[in-house]
Amino acid sequence: MDLPKIIDAHAHIFPEKIAERAVGSIGEFYGITMSCTGTCEDLIDHGKEINVVKYVVNSTATKVEQVEPINSFIADACGRFDCFIGLGTIHPDVKDVEAEINRIISLGLKGIKLHPDFQDFNIDDESALKIYRAAEGKLPILIHMGDEKRTSSRPKRLARVLDMFNDLKIIAAHFGGYSMWDEAIECLVGRDVYFDTSSSLAFMDKTQAENIIKRHGAEKILFGTDYPMWIHKEELERFNKLELDNNEREMILYGNAAGLFNIEEKCV
């Protein structure tokens, strides 16, 4: 039986020389055991088990001085692996946000990743608004959402941002609010925003996940693993337990991300 084509719309990669340290830091922050290495090759090896044909890859700059080298690293990785679609990173403290976003575009990257908790800013801070202004109409933004460790990534903060911008494409990670799904339902479901499935299905009630998908619309949901936090095979097993029809599954596993990122299928 042929496996369906899958796009992993949320995966992290790191340079080999720092991958072990970076993965360890993530595991320590969230209190989980990490079994993946965080390298490009390891990501692809895990994805092949479930027929991932494309990976939307990113890494987060926690300091201003990390922005340029990380964006160069992601662009280089995309040049080496045709199955990678790269997201750039930006930091609210960058002096010329518009210039760096233009550089992200020139590097061939297809979006931006923000992690308010790691980068120590609120989604609706004035310092973040300049990022949205510079990216609006140009690049989608993937935002870590809803961690109870901080208040910076609460769904209600993103709702305020959506009220301010008419042409801003946002992917609200973790079903719109990891560990804050009730607030995500209240503030974000039905809005013009994408959700991804990453770092959620192992923790949320199956019925709640199905409810969010039905109410928000399967056409606005992307499958993501949050690699190296979770293993592709296990994430797909969790997803396949949801009661969805074949069209909904195809949209979430492949079609929605292919449309959003203009993806052509090729991997070497």
Residues 188-206: tens digit of each pLDDT: 999 999 999 999 999 999 9
Do 34 and 248 touch, CB atoms closer than 8 A? no
CA–CA distance, 9 with 71 (Å, rounded to integer): 18
Output the domain CATH number for residue 191: 3.20.20.140
Residue 268 within a domain = no
The yes-or-no verdict on residue 268 having pLDDT over 70 is no
Q: Could you report the per-residue pLDDT of 6-41, keeping only the tens digit for each?
A: 999 999 999 999 999 999 998 888 888 888 999 999
Mean of the per-residue pLDDT values of the chain: 95
CA nearest neighbour of 60 among 31, 86, 90: 90
Number of domains in the chain: 1
The yes-or-no verdict on residue 236 having pLDDT over 80 is yes
Full domain range(s) for residue 67? 6-260
Q: What are phi and psi of 121, to 5 degrees?
A: -145, 160
Residue 266 within a domain = no
- Rounded average pLDDT over 110-138: 97
| Percent composition of the chain: helix, strand, coil (DSSP 3-state, to 5) | 45, 15, 45
Residue 207 within a domain = yes
Residue 213 within a domain = yes
- pLDDT for the residue 1: 56
What does the DSSP assignment read for 123-140?
TTSHHHHHHHHHHTTT--
The yes-or-no verdict on residue 267 having pLDDT over 50 is no
Residue 180 within a domain = yes
- pLDDT for the residue 30: 83
- pLDDT for the residue 2: 75
Q: pTM of the full predicted structure?
A: 0.96
Residue 234 within a domain = yes
Give me 250's structure tokens.
Answer: 């195809």
- Rounded average pLDDT over 226-245: 97
CA nearest neighbour of 141 among 183, 186, 180, 193: 193
Percent of the chain with pLDDT strictly greater than 90: 90
CA–CA distance, 53 with 82 (Å, rounded to integer): 10
Q: Could you report the per-residue pLDDT of 46-97, keeping only the tens digit for each?
A: 999 999 999 999 999 999 999 999 999 999 999 999 999 999 999 999 999 9
Residue 265 within a domain = no
Residue 222 within a domain = yes
